Structure 1
Amino acid sequence: MSSSPSPLSARGSRLALLVVGLCWLAVLFDGLDMFIYGSVLPHLLETGTFGLTPDRAGDLGSYATFGMLIGALAAGTIADRIGRKKLMVSCVALFSLASGLCALADGVAVFGLGRTLAGVGLGGLLPTAISMVSDYAPRGRGAIVIGLLMTAHHAGGILSAYVAKWLVEPVGWRAAFWVCVLPLLFAPVLARFLPESLSFLVAKGRTEEARALAARYDVEVPAARSAKAGPGERWANLVTLFRGREWTQTLLYWLASFGGLLLVYGVATWLPTLMRAEGYELGSALSFVVVFNLGGIVGMLVAGRAADRFGAPRISAIWFALTAAGVYLLSVHMPMTVTMIVVFLTGVFLNSAQTMIYATVSIRSHPDNRATAVGWTSGMGRFGAVFGPWLGGQLLASNQGDWGFTAFALAGVSSMVFIGAAALRTPPTAAQDGPREQQLAAH
């Protein structure tokens, strides 16, 4: 299957830079909003805010990921129908306003509603942004561009730790959520400057608009593809993912994403609290969040380059194996320096392992079906994201925190198996595509 068109001139790189830059900022705010709950959670538990206990805190963490499940499942289909730009702007506005609701909450019900609504926006933004940058990625560089985009998510995680560190103790936890409302100011910027996907414009018959955009930045207009289904068939793009032998690939991606997101969001929600349970002060526990996300940034860049050379599914499988080892080691009491190194390396492998699943799906998908493929892979994985925070809360509530690391490590092993199986298979349509498509499908 082919990747989307790539810039073919020096001037064309301006378009890729513009798209990646704007999407990077949007995903930065996504990461800030996602990680802020885990960063303030130790304070909420320590002060008994809303009468929180570890198991109820785990439930609250799952509310956001449940919202992300809804957002991710809906995003691909909606983006393929109305456009990725409009959806991205809507998602940024939604999770920003929802954070304001959390800041104003006077009880668990309102706070939980805010986190759920924020999750819908967060879940819809990420797969849409990945699809958008994939449209403009240079040929053979799809994985590294997606990896670069995902560094923003971890930069947002680092920012959340500092927001919590600087504001929670002196001002209160509500101030941290008010900071998460500020991305609302970015929505008009996104609406003004982010171009629409060229492949989307062509697929919708808006060829003059696509030509004008392409002429402005001196890039090629993608060739129109014949429609696979009538416009009235709402689920046509989803059905395409199960045609022929593609259903096995689709299920392998979904299962790998389930384990990967269980691991990602379980650790993201509970890492500061688990480290507090190990005897570290709040400041030190938040430092682990910073180190973990610094590792995530490094991992995205390393994994992206490695995936472009050796194949995204192969790199993802190796990374999940290394992640499982690192997460398991966190259950062992070690000197502070060694623990920091393990947390950093775990961040390197954990976050990029899941992203390489998205890279695999994105690169192997047709442009007119890419948002649906990535969105549903992310969406089905969100079941794991919902389960991870809940599982961590249940284990902590029963004083079995160490088993949390073991459970998360086993999730990493399962994702290694599923994406590894996908790596051994060649997409059945690859043989029918041209040489460039076969080269990209190998990734």
Structure 2
Amino acid sequence: MVARVSPGNRGFFVGLICFIAVVFDGYDLVVYGTTIPALLEYEPWGLDAAEAGMIASYALIGMLLGTLISGFATDLLGRRKLFLTAICWFSLCMLACALAPSSLLFGLFRFLAGIGLGGVLPTAIALTVEFAPPHRRNFASAIMSSGFSVGAILASVLGIVVIEEYGFRPMFAIGVLPLVLLAPVAWRWLPESVDYLVSKGRLGDAEAVARRYGIPWPPPEGARAPRLRGRAALRPLFRPPFLGVAAVFAVATLISQLFIYGLSTWLPQIMRTAGYPLGSALSFLVAMSAGAIGGAAVMSWLADRIGPRRVALGGFLIGAGSLLLLSAHPPTAVLYVAVVLAGVGGNGTAVILNGFIATWFPAVVRASALGSIMTVARFGGILGPMLGGWIMAAGVPVNWNFYVFLLPALAGALVVVLLPRTRTAPPPGEPLRQHTEEVGHA
């Protein structure tokens, strides 16, 4: 007798594919931070801290471009094809990084890899939220997004084992594995978005996917409207109530990206400067990533119960407190606790904000909202590593490496207060004035 797979389990498999992709996304971004000490010591390239910070930003500049492209490419390719394209693209570019003969080409390949990486997370979030049970969407999004931190842990642990013995190149060569292991699985089993199929008028295909994965069918009448394209897809975001909310989300996520990428890129080198050997310095990055995973799980559980706005506010405050603690030169045991809390306040908060964006905006503008907001947020990811590199190159006391991220964390807490108190946007036909006032006084 052949066992039947329930729709819920099929939806879980979609989330699992997205989770694994985000694990590699996290690995490919954080691996650079683990290799900075080795890159600074690699004599043929002769890099200094400021140059290393600039190279770190190249991948994030690529991600900005990739996120922007993904918002429009979704309408042309669909989420499934875009997801597969992004995986194959960044895998090949990571292999090119491993083979790069010069720092110039290495930086170019990091930029190109970033373009592919920029398309992974918004597409993975949108797919995970769509195929998750409605009452578990914050939790599903958070668990999937925590794959980034799992990838960061893998990069850190492998760095401890690999870098001192074999150098930095094998660390980047590992980034080709998604092309070999994940892309074939996703090609065979990842479904196309029901929202996308409906928007294209492919109602027969959409119904088949919806019934197979337990998604309510038929969709609401508003969801049957053709998907807006180009500038028309962005137009609703520039009108109330979406304009103000999108702007606040963009600033909050920008700050969270500055915190995450600035601290995770430079934490190993900061700890090396503080006198820790490479293995111990990388273990702090493992602790930060572990805090991000645990924090995302607990915070998402709370977000489904008390609302994501309150949880994101608490996350930024935890991040600010951890930076104060790190700057005080505490004993090693307390230092590890502070680094764990930094993971909670950085990555954990970002996961909650991403899930909040995906669940607040309605399906007709969800892809455009995620793409546009994450594009703005990438500027924070670009600035963070550069800021850390400038501070490191200035030769100031170690505690200033933490002060530079403290003020943004406090600013993030203030911005979150302006986010909507409601968990979703008002339905069509509900008066917008009352909702806008509620957002403005949140």
Judge same fold: TM > 0.5, yes or no.
Answer: yes
Alignment root-mean-square deviation, CA: 2.4
The alignment-based identity, stated in percent, is 36
Q: Structure 1 residues 216 and 144 mapped into 2: Cα distance closer, same or farther (>3 Å)?
A: closer
> What pairs with 1:140-155 in structure 2 (closer than 5 Å)?
140-155=135-150
Secondary structure of the corresponding residue to residue 70 of structure 2:
helix
Confirm whether residue 46 of structure 1 aligns to residue 45 of structure 2. Answer: no
Distance in 2 separating the partners of 1:404 and 1:245: 39
* Contact 1:255–1:418 (CA under 8 A) maintained in structure 2: yes
Larger relative contact order (Cα-Cα within 8 Å, sequence gap ≥ 6):
1
Distance in 2 separating the partners of 1:433 and 1:366: 13
Alignment-derived partner of residue 135 in structure 1: 130
Alignment-derived partner of residue 370 in structure 1: 366
Q: Structure 1 residues 369 and 57 mapped into 2: Cα distance closer, same or farther (>3 Å)?
A: same
Q: Structure 1 residues 225 and 65 mapped into 2: Cα distance closer, same or farther (>3 Å)?
A: farther
Alignment-derived partner of residue 406 in structure 1: 403
Alignment-derived partner of residue 250 in structure 1: 246
> What pairs with 1:3-14 in structure 2 (closer than 5 Å)?
11-14=6-9
- 1:79, CA displacement in angstroms? 1.5
Which letter maps to 1:256? A
* Contact 2:210–2:216 (CA under 8 A) maintained in structure 1: yes
- 1:116, CA displacement in angstroms? 0.5
* Contact 1:199–1:222 (CA under 8 A) maintained in structure 2: no
The C-alpha deviation readout for 1:295-340, integer Å capped at 9, x for no partner, is: 1110110011111111112211111011011023212211111101
- 1:224, CA displacement in angstroms? 5.3
Q: Structure 1 residues 352 and 373 mapped into 2: Cα distance closer, same or farther (>3 Å)?
A: same
Confirm whether residue 191 of structure 1 aligns to residue 187 of structure 2. Answer: yes
Comparing 411-420 and 57-66, the one that deviates more: 411-420
Q: Structure 1 residues 28 and 391 mapped into 2: Cα distance closer, same or farther (>3 Å)?
A: same
Q: Which 5+ residue runs of structure 2 have no aligned equivalent?
A: none
Q: Structure 1 residues 34 and 206 mapped into 2: Cα distance closer, same or farther (>3 Å)?
A: same
Alignment-derived partner of residue 12 in structure 2: 17
Distance in 1 separating the partners of 2:5 and 2:183: 29
Alignment-derived partner of residue 334 in structure 1: 330
Distance in 2 separating the partners of 1:56 and 1:112: 10
Comparing 368-377 and 277-286, the one that deviates more: 368-377
* Contact 2:362–2:425 (CA under 8 A) maintained in structure 1: no
> What pairs with 1:311-330 in structure 2 (closer than 5 Å)?
311-330=307-326
Distance in 1 separating the partners of 2:420 and 2:220: 30
Which letter maps to 2:414? V
Q: Which 5+ residue runs of structure 1 have no aligned equivalent?
A: 1-8
Comparing 206-215 and 340-349, the one that deviates more: 206-215
Alignment-derived partner of residue 297 in structure 1: 293
Alignment-derived partner of residue 112 in structure 1: 107
Alignment-derived partner of residue 283 in structure 1: 279
Q: Structure 1 residues 336 and 428 mapped into 2: Cα distance closer, same or farther (>3 Å)?
A: closer
The C-alpha deviation readout for 1:37-89, integer Å capped at 9, x for no partner, is: 00111111133451110000000000011011111122122224421111111
Distance in 1 separating the partners of 2:296 and 2:393: 33
Alignment-derived partner of residue 413 in structure 2: 416
Equivalent of 1:175 in 166, 170, 174 = 170
Distance in 1 separating the partners of 2:51 and 2:299: 36
* Contact 2:138–2:352 (CA under 8 A) maintained in structure 1: yes
Distance in 2 separating the partners of 1:335 and 1:265: 25
* Contact 1:35–1:268 (CA under 8 A) maintained in structure 2: yes
Distance in 1 separating the partners of 2:198 and 2:385: 41
Structure 1-normalised TM-score?
0.92
- 1:404, CA displacement in angstroms? 2.5
Secondary structure of the corresponding residue to residue 366 of structure 2:
helix
* Contact 2:11–2:213 (CA under 8 A) maintained in structure 1: no
* Contact 1:67–1:123 (CA under 8 A) maintained in structure 2: yes
- 1:368, CA displacement in angstroms? 2.8
The C-alpha deviation readout for 1:330-374, integer Å capped at 9, x for no partner, is: 122111111011111221222111121111111111123212111
Distance in 2 separating the partners of 1:209 and 1:267: 45
Confirm whether residue 71 of structure 1 aligns to residue 27 of structure 2. Answer: no
Distance in 2 separating the partners of 1:425 and 1:212: 32
Distance in 1 separating the partners of 2:226 and 2:188: 32
Structure 2-normalised TM-score?
0.92
Alignment-derived partner of residue 209 in structure 2: 213
Confirm whether residue 103 of structure 1 aligns to residue 121 of structure 2. Answer: no
Alignment-derived partner of residue 389 in structure 1: 385
- 1:229, CA displacement in angstroms? 8.5
Number of residue pairs matched by the alignment = 430
Distance in 2 separating the partners of 1:97 and 1:12: 34
Q: Structure 1 residues 30 and 222 mapped into 2: Cα distance closer, same or farther (>3 Å)?
A: farther
Equivalent of 1:29 in 17, 24, 28 = 24
